[in-house]
Structure 1
């Protein structure tokens, strides 16, 4: 005999009762029920009603115990894992024809459509929410949800306003996790987690709805898609994340913060879109949010989002550590600048890998531009956790200038490094340039030396801290920069300096050379005026003074363009064209125990890639196109257990392999 969890509501609800201790979800008062997940000392999780003054809904709802504590963004989450675990509320004469529902859910998979809740009148389902759609079976209205192939947690919001209340209805039932008997619906029992459930017996206005959704989004690490015209709000209705202003960083929005009116006290968070990739905690990270002892100020928030760029290295800028393509925006509200945070990144989830003898650093742009200009960026070195691929950055503070925002990303660098940037010289009028140097890492004092190739120029300085050292009267040329710290650690870099007004071609730094064909390069495009000279050098003694050359050999070529003694230098790499565009493919884990997998793809040139995942009969089950890059990082989930043939196609090449889901 199955165990049904049945709760009888024998009285009319009294919506004018207030929530306990002045709490209300999103600061929107008078919900008729508000269940959150808690656990007892034995580790048994249950729903707790945060409205103890209202007797219509029971204070606790317990289900069959799970074999583990389930969490979503470090908060407890009720598990429904068997058909016997559904919940029934017998509402009697209480009507929900005018209501707003919020539920946070994460099904175990998206292979089948699963019931989340249904509202029944006289044993007939009239309103049904599933993982795939919302259905009003009385009026035959349906709202399908966007496909969610990666099966990320979501907030399901529904409101209805029906002017006619049917007084002839004998019974009303709200059923959680299981479908009703009639009509027979082609949906499955819910399996997964339901951390929180809220009902209002009225239709909330747009601002109220966003306040509730903002509260749930921050608590569970779920990124809201509100559009540019709407923003995240606190319980007072004030903006804490401006969607329009931050539209370039509108992906994977996550946050920590405290809002006593909402009963929100989120001290550590990770995006539900990619949990564990980046985790930020106030103070040290704990297993659960509730165990974190750090005190946050009321109405203090840190919210961050990213630009959705690839988790791979950007092009290196001279004198700077190479950074990730992906950048993040951090916004601060309230008195939050004094809070020290810990950041963790899981490098196993990234396409970027460290070069030899390099370490992970975080770079924080304190300016309002987000351009990571030298002199406006702070660097903090990370520490690796043993054998986990996780890097930890301690004691990071935000909004130290009280501007309300910072930008950050991650980069690679050695134990100690010199950050250098150039104020370029000019030819007309003749004016020397300047090298700016700042040391990060290592142990002071530092010995800094700068010398110029093919010149007698050489200088040394002793630096006692990381303040900027300005090196004046710099002329065009190639310079060696060396730094040695008090422990003897040595850092070396090479700086190429040319006049800002030197004539420069518009040739690319790399070209493909096809077999049996000549490659013609023309350096004259966009160069105006007379008295311009050209000098080409290349492999096997190649030399030419013509602006236009024809290349038959791959290798490294250098172009010097000179106008009245003002010269520019450009290195151009010519590579032999390979019709097989694939350089490296890595898929892991394989086999995968839970269906989730990651794929790192490196190409020999920029090209689109089509990923075709088919069953052993050749029927395509998933199809994905990646566009516009030479490096890709892709995460997915197999549709079910079994073996699949994964085929990658790009240009005229393809690669296939077997991916196994246990």
Structure 2
């Protein structure tokens, strides 16, 4: 279920307290918060602490704070307001049906509606001007917390603001609000940008929501001081979340997780008394998918990376960290476990000697908890972390690329886990010859190499084996500049490597997840995964081009295609691609149905047929396997 807030906020409320205004922005006209009293959820008027506006048994706790269920078709929340020419309104809510446009509030007099705000638009009904707040597709990634409105009220002095419904009948597609309300704040003036940012930051921290970063927005405390700088952290603007204390605004967020991402929960309850005033710990991510990506020399790392900004006054090793690993462990391969990977320098250099690895043990519900773990041992205040899937013992290889024709490249090994001494064997992938075999008692070792494809095998003292392939490029040679990601659809993607290189004599090998699938200059992409194109130049130097293929749900695995089609000179290629290793037969017929050529294929997933038909006409190419037959037309002009 998504939380959406066009200019306001989501869920989570701290206990009711008396102050002149949220985040020390004084004199709100309306300030309502959700609370919980024994077995009931209530809406409490913070400006009159004994005033309870609504009682319900239904509600939710988000980040340990209450939100009351509100169905505007049955519940009424209406406030009389004096003549107000300007309003600044914050509404913290969560809708049950995020696909339906719903009313947030309506200002009206006795006879007509004056302004209306829904989950999708703001309407000034006195002059029929409308302003869309956000496209539906963007709701899940950006939430607005505030919006200025001008109501253009006349001399009539009886006005009301109704939450979640329209006072007077109006033909609009929006439904009454049905969901959860946590907080309502209204000012009878325009707040300045500093005031808006103070309240937005206060509510964002409090409710585990991210300020929209379509335009960079800093987080500030109640004194207006920046506590999280969007420009400094511009590569990590997604799912911004925080814990910490601001005594002036009576904000103490001891435990939090982002409302749209439950992967990380951080809890400082055990040291709450020792947390200094205006101390915060923020974390955020780079908005990359929760997918593992192969980087040369490393186990597969999660593409999503997190930045943690730690206030030096917070004792980080006494904080409890909980990770919900269910989202990533369903992607793991056999005999692997989740590892936490930390760069304490904050630079996200994953082959650095500074990298720290922590093997994680899952509980039955898919979570893992770290306590008494010193995250910021180097006192850098910023660390970057991610996750990988790897066995109990693995090796990380830092690759220094060689120059063409010179064995001046280096491999620097770091072995994690296992028991020393380690025996390391480096094998040439093509010749199967052992390049070097050595016993290493420490953690790191360097070896000189030239470009090429290698297997390396690590065996520890207990006989545990780790094996990996590495492909090494020459650094001073041109490589095909393919796009990084290709997305499959109903039309197969065909790549000709020669189209991305100067004219010359090249040899090509195409690998999928480090397994050879075909030779030749062309490939048809129909299977998702991490691909490597090895280009061997005339001088025997090699380059490696990495790219990824992602699929849509409607993509098809078994495909056949001919290119070019039509053919101007009678030359063409037929590509056959199969989801598994397949034996197949290719038949080509003329328009009269006579067989003109045939070719048998065996033991591969991808085949390429180079054909030439000198006579113009329409021909049929058919590929037959034990499971199916597929045919296409070939036109020779």
Provide TM-score, normalisation by structure 1.
0.65
SS in 2 for 1:383: coil
Distance between the aligned counterparts of 1:26 and 1:510, measured in 2?
44
In structure 2, the partner of 1:65 is: 57
TM-aligned CA distance change 1:484 to 1:261, over 3 Å: farther
In structure 1, the partner of 2:613 is: none
Aligned pairs for 1:151-162 within 5 A: 154=143, 156-160=145-149
Q: Does 1:241 align with 2:228?
A: yes
Q: Does 1:406 align with 2:396?
A: no
SS in 2 for 1:109: coil
Say if 2:124 and 2:151, in contact at 8 Å, map to a contact too: no
In structure 2, the partner of 1:48 is: 44
List runs of 5+ in structure 2 lacking aligned partners.
Answer: 1-15, 489-493, 512-518, 559-577, 580-630, 633-637
Which moved further from structure 2: 139-148 or 157-166? Answer: 157-166
Pick from 288, 306, 313: which aligns with 1:309? 288
In structure 1, the partner of 2:3 is: none
Pick from 223, 230, 239: which aligns with 2:210? 223
Aligned pairs for 1:346-361 within 5 A: 346-348=325-327, 353-361=331-339
Q: Does 1:330 align with 2:330?
A: no
SS in 2 for 1:409: strand
Say if 2:33 and 2:46, in contact at 8 Å, map to a contact too: yes
In structure 2, the partner of 1:279 is: 264
Offset at 1:368?
4.5
In structure 2, the partner of 1:135 is: 123
List runs of 5+ in structure 1 lacking aligned partners.
Answer: 1-18, 284-289, 513-517, 540-546, 585-602, 605-651, 654-662
Pick from 174, 185, 189: which aligns with 2:161? 174
Q: Does 1:257 align with 2:254?
A: no
Offset at 1:63?
2.3
Distance between the aligned counterparts of 1:561 and 1:551, measured in 2?
18
In structure 2, the partner of 1:344 is: 323
TM-aligned CA distance change 1:118 to 1:302, over 3 Å: same
TM-aligned CA distance change 1:103 to 1:183, over 3 Å: same
Offset at 1:30?
2.8
Offset at 1:26?
2.9
Distance between the aligned counterparts of 2:27 and 2:537, measured in 1?
74
Distance between the aligned counterparts of 2:455 and 2:107, measured in 1?
74
Work out the number of aligned pairs and report it: 517
Offset at 1:76?
1.4
In structure 2, the partner of 1:491 is: 466
TM-aligned CA distance change 1:426 to 1:559, over 3 Å: closer
Say if 2:105 and 2:116, in contact at 8 Å, map to a contact too: yes
In structure 2, the partner of 1:417 is: 394
Q: Deviations over 1:579-611 (max 9, x none)?
A: x94249xxxxxxxxxxxxxxxxxx98xxxxxxx
Q: Deviations over 1:421-458 (max 9, x none)?
A: 13345578x6755432223344x545343455535843
Q: Does 1:195 align with 2:182?
A: yes
SS in 1 for 2:441: strand
Aligned pairs for 1:331-480 within 5 A: 331-333=309-311, 335-336=313-314, 338-339=316-317, 340-348=319-327, 353-386=331-364, 388-390=365-367, 397-426=374-403, 432-442=408-418, 444-451=419-426, 454-455=433-434, 457-463=436-442, 468-471=443-446
SS in 1 for 2:212: coil
Offset at 1:323?
1.5
In structure 1, the partner of 2:568 is: none
Considering only aligned residues, what root-mean-square deviation do their CA atoms show, in Å? 4.7
Distance between the aligned counterparts of 2:536 and 2:508, measured in 1?
7
Pick from 86, 95, 98: which aligns with 2:86? 98
Offset at 1:133?
2.4
Aligned pairs for 1:508-587 within 5 A: 525=501, 560-561=536-537, 563=539, 567-568=541-542, 581-583=555-557
In structure 1, the partner of 2:25 is: 28
Distance between the aligned counterparts of 2:101 and 2:236, measured in 1?
32
SS in 1 for 2:321: strand
Offset at 1:322?
1.0
Offset at 1:65?
1.9
TM-aligned CA distance change 1:357 to 1:20, over 3 Å: closer
TM-aligned CA distance change 1:495 to 1:40, over 3 Å: same
Pick from 71, 74, 80: which aligns with 1:81? 71
SS in 2 for 1:63: strand
In structure 1, the partner of 2:566 is: none
Distance between the aligned counterparts of 1:197 and 1:282, measured in 2?
27
SS in 2 for 1:85: coil
Offset at 1:49?
3.5
Offset at 1:211?
1.5
Say if 1:98 and 1:161, in contact at 8 Å, map to a contact too: yes
Distance between the aligned counterparts of 1:201 and 1:519, measured in 2?
62
Say if 1:115 and 1:130, in contact at 8 Å, map to a contact too: yes
Distance between the aligned counterparts of 1:148 and 1:174, measured in 2?
26
Offset at 1:275?
3.9
Provide TM-score, normalisation by structure 2.
0.67
TM-aligned CA distance change 1:142 to 1:397, over 3 Å: farther
TM-aligned CA distance change 1:120 to 1:418, over 3 Å: same
Q: Deviations over 1:480-521 (max 9, x none)?
A: 6444556654333345557655x5654979999xxxxx9986
In structure 2, the partner of 1:210 is: 197
Offset at 1:237?
1.6
Distance between the aligned counterparts of 1:44 and 1:312, measured in 2?
42
Offset at 1:199?
1.9
TM-aligned CA distance change 1:336 to 1:165, over 3 Å: farther
Offset at 1:181?
3.8
Say if 2:474 and 2:543, in contact at 8 Å, map to a contact too: no
TM-aligned CA distance change 1:562 to 1:36, over 3 Å: same
